[in-house]
């Protein structure tokens, strides 16, 4: 196997994603739109599989976690309460010598300082001032910057504004998790869960990024998968450690190699937070950077919404009758970023039959196509008929099965390897009974080894179902 080359890997992944229908540039025929990508037929299946695996781990495999799907548009007061209209910005500073603008959070990160995205302009300036001596202009090398100006990332809309004054804009969600806080009381009142309990959601988020970049890493529109665990005040420590462990293990379970993951603790917390860690992934072209955030947020979110809405959001302890605002432990990951990590981790080049080949070594449970079914030759009706029969039979049990009769067998293997299809099934003349003892068997080719074995058609469903199990 060839070494993973961090310098060219991103280019290769972008090219493969386009070539094989994973990811396209948004509005491509019009020249595109910065920071927007579309998931193609293969990409959307990968995304579905990742979401399903995530949902299973965070809802079905737990007893006290509840799913939610809240509306994207929210009362404008929500974003005031959450701090997004004042904080939540791209912080920029300008070099006084050459007028180059820098992203302050990125420059701070280079010297090992993490700035929280929800920091206010003042918090950012304090942090920047404390580290000015370490930060040099990437253009001229001077250390003379203006104060930090924060450019708000919320995307405004004109929903419900029929006067065109735009006085109180409705925003697209800057993060998906707010819907969970807004429905906390509804869930309490309707399902009567006892603490600790979790509410989870997968939802879209929009950010007016000044410089979207690095393919799926930093986008203007993306999906987030969030969990919020509501707990009793001060009972955060053990639960937080457990969540951190669970989330780390989940990445291993979907096939991410452990050497490409690491922990990073935030040094500079927003004032209300107790602790914050990122699971970082070794992204192509970027190196280690945030994949998922795990945050110990105290009672800040619900207290803010209680104050701004005037609605009592306290929980009543069923034993003691005591009323209090629960604390929150949060996990949050962008699914586009997760897809990029999964694609990068799966990208493999090796030598097979004297040729270099590219394949995506997805864990079968997340592969967008589980198996491809081929007739050996597409101009032999009896082969095609038998292959169609096998294809239909498999598809009933395992929906992510494709039919492929385009080009010769070698080309089909190559194509399926690049999609990451773990199994290819070929119907040949032996299947039809040319060699009597092989009647009703097919060849089953393994993606990773390229090896083929003869398998009875009757055994295919069981074999595949077992192999693709999460």
- Kindly state the smallest distance separating residue 270's Cβ from Zn ion, in Å: 30
Label residue 35 left, alpha or beta by phi (over 0 means left) and psi (-120 to 50 means alpha): left
Comparison of 95 and 341: residue with beta carbon closer to Zn ion: 95
Structure tokens at 40: 């193609």
- Kindly state the smallest distance separating residue 135's Cβ from Zn ion, in Å: 11
Comparison of 141 and 160: residue with beta carbon closer to Zn ion: 141
- Kindly state the smallest distance separating residue 140's Cβ from Zn ion, in Å: 3
Tell me the β-bridge partners of 290. Answer: 280
- Kindly state the smallest distance separating residue 101's Cβ from Zn ion, in Å: 10
Between the two ends of the chain, the Cα-to-Cα distance in Å is: 26
Closest by Cα among 248, 77, 327, 69 to 176:
69
Alpha helices in 289-408 (DSSP H): 300-309, 335-346, 381-397
Query: How is the beta sheet containing 197-206 ordered, strand by strand?
Result: 65-68, 197-206, 221-231, 327-334, 287-296, 275-283, 261-265
Task: Let me know: does 95 contact 84? Beta carbons within 8 Å.
Answer: no
Grouping H, G, I as helix, E, B as strand and the rest as coil, residue 362 is coil
DSSP letter string, 71-108: -S---THHHHHTTTTTS-EEEEEEBTTT--EEEHHHHH
Comparison of 140 and 187: residue with beta carbon closer to Zn ion: 140
Comparison of 140 and 467: residue with beta carbon closer to Zn ion: 140
Task: Let me know: does 1 contact 348? Beta carbons within 8 Å.
Answer: yes
Comparison of 95 and 153: residue with beta carbon closer to Zn ion: 95
How many CB atoms are closer than 10 A to CB 428?
Answer: 21
Comparison of 134 and 351: residue with beta carbon closer to Zn ion: 134
Comparison of 140 and 409: residue with beta carbon closer to Zn ion: 140
Cα 220 to Cα 86: distance, rounded to the nearest angstrom: 19
Cα 326 to Cα 231: distance, rounded to the nearest angstrom: 5
- Kindly state the smallest distance separating residue 214's Cβ from Zn ion, in Å: 23
Task: Let me know: does 236 contact 218? Beta carbons within 8 Å.
Answer: no
Closest by Cα among 338, 341, 345, 337 to 362:
345
Residue 218 has what DSSP assignment? B
Residues of this chain that interact with Zn ion (CB under 5 A) are: 95, 97-98, 100, 137, 139-140
Cα 439 to Cα 427: distance, rounded to the nearest angstrom: 10
- Kindly state the smallest distance separating residue 102's Cβ from Zn ion, in Å: 9
How many CB atoms are closer than 10 A to CB 226?
Answer: 23
Comparison of 86 and 100: residue with beta carbon closer to Zn ion: 100
DSSP letter string, 265-291: E-SS--TT-SEEEEEEEEETTTEEEEE
Comparison of 144 and 440: residue with beta carbon closer to Zn ion: 144
How many CB atoms are closer than 10 A to CB 324?
Answer: 14
Residue 96: CA atoms inside 13 Å, Cβ hemisphere, count? 7
Comparison of 138 and 287: residue with beta carbon closer to Zn ion: 138
Cα 374 to Cα 376: distance, rounded to the nearest angstrom: 6
Comparison of 33 and 140: residue with beta carbon closer to Zn ion: 140
């Amino acid at each position: 196997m060839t070494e993973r080359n961090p310098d060219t890997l991103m280019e290769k992944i972008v090219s493969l994603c386009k070539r094989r229908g994973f990811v396209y540039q948004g509005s491509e025929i019009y020249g595109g739109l910065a920071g927007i990508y579309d998931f193609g037929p293969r990409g959307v299946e990968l995304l579905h599989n990742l979401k399903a695996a995530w949902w299973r781990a965070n809802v079905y495999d737990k007893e006290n976690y509840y799913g939610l799907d809240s509306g994207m548009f929210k009362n404008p007061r929500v974003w005031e309460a959450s701090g997004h209209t004042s904080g939540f910005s791209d912080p920029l500073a300008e070099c006084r010598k050459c007028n180059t603008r820098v992203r302050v959070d990125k420059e701070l990160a280079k010297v090992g300082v993490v700035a929280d995205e929800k920091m206010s302009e003042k918090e950012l300036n304090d942090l920047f001032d404390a580290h000015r001596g370490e930060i040099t202009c990437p253009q001229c090398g001077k250390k003379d910057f203006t104060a930090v100006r924060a450019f708000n990332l919320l995307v405004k809309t004109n929903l419900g504004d029929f006067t065109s004054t735009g006085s109180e804009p409705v925003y697209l969600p800057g993060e998906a998790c707010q819907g969970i806080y807004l429905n906390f009381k509804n869930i309490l009142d309707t399902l009567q869960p006892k603490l600790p309990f979790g509410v989870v959601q997968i939802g879209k988020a929009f950010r007016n990024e000044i410089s979207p970049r690095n393919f799926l890493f930093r986008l203007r529109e993306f999906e987030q998968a969030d969990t919020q665990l509501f707990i009793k005040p001060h009972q955060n420590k053990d639960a937080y450690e457990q969540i951190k462990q669970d989330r780390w293990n989940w990445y291993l379970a979907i096939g991410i190699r452990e050497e490409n993951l690491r922990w990073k603790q935030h040094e500079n917390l927003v004032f209300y937070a107790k602790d914050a860690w990122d699971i970082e992934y070794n992204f192509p072209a970027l190196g280690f950077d945030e994949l998922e955030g795990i945050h110990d947020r105290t009672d800040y979110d619900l207290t803010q919404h209680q104050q701004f809405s005037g609605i009592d959001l306290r929980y009543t302890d069923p034993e003691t009758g005591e009323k209090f605002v629960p604390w929150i432990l949060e996990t949050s990951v962008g699914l586009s970023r997760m897809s990029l990590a999964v694609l990068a981790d799966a990208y493999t080049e090796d030598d097979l039959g004297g040729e270099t080949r590219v394949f995506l070594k997805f864990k079968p449970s997340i592969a967008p196509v589980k198996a491809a079914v081929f007739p050996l030759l597409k101009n032999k009706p009896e082969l095609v008929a038998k292959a169609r029969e096998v294809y239909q039979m498999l598809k009933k049990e395992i929906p992510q099965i494709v039919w492929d009769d385009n080009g010769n067998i070698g080309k089909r293997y190559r194509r399926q390897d690049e999609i990451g299809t773990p199994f290819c099934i070929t119907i040949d003349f032996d299947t039809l009974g040319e060699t009597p003892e092989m009647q009703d068997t097919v060849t089953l080719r393994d993606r990773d080894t390229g090896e083929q074995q003869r398998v009875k058609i009757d055994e295919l469903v069981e074999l595949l179902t077992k192999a693709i199990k999460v």
